[in-house]
Amino acid sequence: MKNFLLNKKWLILIFVVLTIAVLTTFLPTDKEEVVYVYTARHYGIEPVFIEFTNETGIVVKHTTASDAALRERIKAEGRHTNADVYITVDAGNLWLAVKDGLLRTIESSVVEKNIPANLRDPENQWFALTERVRTILYHPDRVSPEELSTYEALADPKWYGRLLMRPATHPYTQSLVASLIVAHGEEESEKIVRGWVANNPTLIDSDTRILETLAAGKGDVAIANHYYLGRLLESNPEFPVRIFWANQNVGERGAHVNITGVGVTKYSKNYQNAIRFVEWLSSPRGQKLFADSNHEFPANPTVEPHSIIAGFGSFVRDPINLTEYGRLQGAAVKLLNRVGYR
């Protein structure tokens, strides 16, 4: 009986060993390479992510929501977050993410080489991927470009009832006003924004609808991001709206530029994959796909922009440090409230 039990134990042991050998031979043992992305930029991202996976084997799993919602989610999840990468469509949100301690330094000579110093955080906690220019758009049948000049000049009473703008609650408006504060100080900026409000602008919380309203003749001049016009022209080359680069004369500050930017989260569980993802997005291949998918300007200066926005012509950018958008966001919101901009 004792020998029988001993033999039985050996048979069980041999069976277990053979089973493990079979499983090791025929089943994949490598852990899936993955990077988790929380992104507020949602236009055209899936093809970009698929191409990254095709080239690297790293699967991109992503969640989309507003900048603020994603930032608050990362904060609430803490060290348990799935997020490896945070992509946002306003530099102010990246500044706030740094302030909240949500990001970590991106240690990559590749990204530093690809993205200019003025388009990244001083501590390399975030980098720009693309530039988005918020400038003046107009209907050429009702406005001559010779009538246009600066954001500030839209406070002139001649534009009463003719302006289309985004509400005060949107980061685009807040960052633009923050840039005014940098250029002019709060007192002068308040006069400018008060002049906008006095002109009774139509407030629409969608740049696409702003341009469609402009095209329909329900307004003459708008402030909007350039790429919305690029999209509309791609679907309809005869779309009746034109672009004017603001603040371009000698001594003026240049057109207001914001970014789509990226950071790696403090508690990233796939840090090396996250770095590889950011490096790829900063490369000529990644830049071309990512920028062209939304008609934005590539942050990598070696990459040519989409032909439609290249056709808008060259322009001077405001050299403001992008971190100012976050630092002055509170002051901008208070200013907008004081003057009754809703």
Domain hosting 50: range is: 34-131+257-305
Q: Identify whether 276 is part of a domain.
A: yes
Tens-digit pLDDT profile for residues 16-60: 444 444 333 333 445 689 999 999 999 899 999 999 999 999 999
Rg (CA), the chain: 26
Q: Identify whether 126 is part of a domain.
A: yes
Q: Locate all alpha helices (DSSP H) within 154-222, ordered by sequence.
A: 171-198, 207-215
**Amino acid (one-letter) located at 288:** K
pLDDT band at 195 (very low <50, low <70, confident <90, very high): very high
Structure-token pair, residue 147: 């009538």
Comparison of pLDDT for 10 and 239, the residue scoring more:
239
Residue 226 has pLDDT above 70, yes or no: yes
Contact 291/303 with Cβ under 8 angstroms? Answer: yes
Question: Does 225 lie in the same domain as 126?
Answer: no
Structure-token pair, residue 177: 């006003």
**Amino acid (one-letter) located at 68:** A
Structure-token pair, residue 218: 């329900």
Q: Cα-flanking dihedrals φ and ψ of residue 242, to 5°?
A: -125, 160
Report the share of the chain in percent with pLDDT over 90. 90
141/132 Cα distance (integer angstroms): 26
Total number of domains in the chain: 2
**What integer pLDDT is reported at residue 7 of this predicted model?**
57
**What integer pLDDT is reported at residue 335 of this predicted model?**
98
Q: Identify whether 17 is part of a domain.
A: no
261/87 Cα distance (integer angstroms): 6
Question: Does 224 lie in the same domain as 199?
Answer: yes
Q: Residue 60 pairs with which residues in a beta bridge? A: 35
Q: Identify whether 315 is part of a domain.
A: no
Question: Does 284 lie in the same domain as 271?
Answer: yes
Question: Does 235 lie in the same domain as 205?
Answer: yes
Tens-digit pLDDT profile for residues 242-259: 999 999 999 999 999 999
**What integer pLDDT is reported at residue 99 of this predicted model?**
96
Question: Does 182 lie in the same domain as 87?
Answer: no
247/317 Cα distance (integer angstroms): 9
Mean pLDDT within 307-317: 98
Question: Does 267 lie in the same domain as 238?
Answer: no
Q: Identify whether 310 is part of a domain.
A: no
Tens-digit pLDDT profile for residues 314-339: 999 999 999 999 999 999 999 999 99
Question: Does 208 lie in the same domain as 147?
Answer: yes
Question: Does 172 lie in the same domain as 101?
Answer: no
Mean pLDDT within 2-19: 50
CATH number of the domain encompassing residue 214: 3.40.190.10
Closest CA to 305 of 320, 290, 317: 290
Closest CA to 213 of 264, 142, 266: 142
Q: Identify whether 252 is part of a domain.
A: yes
Q: Strand (E) positions, 40-166?
A: 59-64, 85-88, 103-104, 127-138, 163-165
Q: Identify whether 141 is part of a domain.
A: yes
Question: Does 241 lie in the same domain as 195?
Answer: yes
Its sign, for the CA torsion 270, 276, 279, 285, is negative
Contact 325/91 with Cβ under 8 angstroms? Answer: yes
**What integer pLDDT is reported at residue 3 of this predicted model?**
53
Question: Does 329 lie in the same domain as 223?
Answer: yes
Question: Does 333 lie in the same domain as 212?
Answer: yes
Q: Identify whether 316 is part of a domain.
A: no
304/302 Cα distance (integer angstroms): 7
Mean pLDDT score of the chain: 93
**What integer pLDDT is reported at residue 25 of this predicted model?**
36
Tell me the CA distances in angstroms from 156 to 146, 162, 198, 223, 285, one per residue in order: 15, 11, 9, 15, 44
Structure-token pair, residue 291: 């920028």
Coil vs helix vs strand at 310: helix
Structure-token pair, residue 9: 């134990």
Coil vs helix vs strand at 188: helix
Task: Give, to the nearest 10 degrees, the angle between helix 284-292 and helix 271-282.
Answer: 80
Mean pLDDT within 283-299: 97
Buried b (16+ CB within 10 A) or exposed e, 271-286: bebbbbbbbbbbbeeb
- Cα separation of the two ends of the chain: 90
Question: Does 334 lie in the same domain as 214?
Answer: yes
**What integer pLDDT is reported at residue 1 of this predicted model?**
53
Tell me the CA distances in angstroms from 290 to 68, 95, 129, 272, 314, one per residue in order: 22, 22, 8, 21, 21
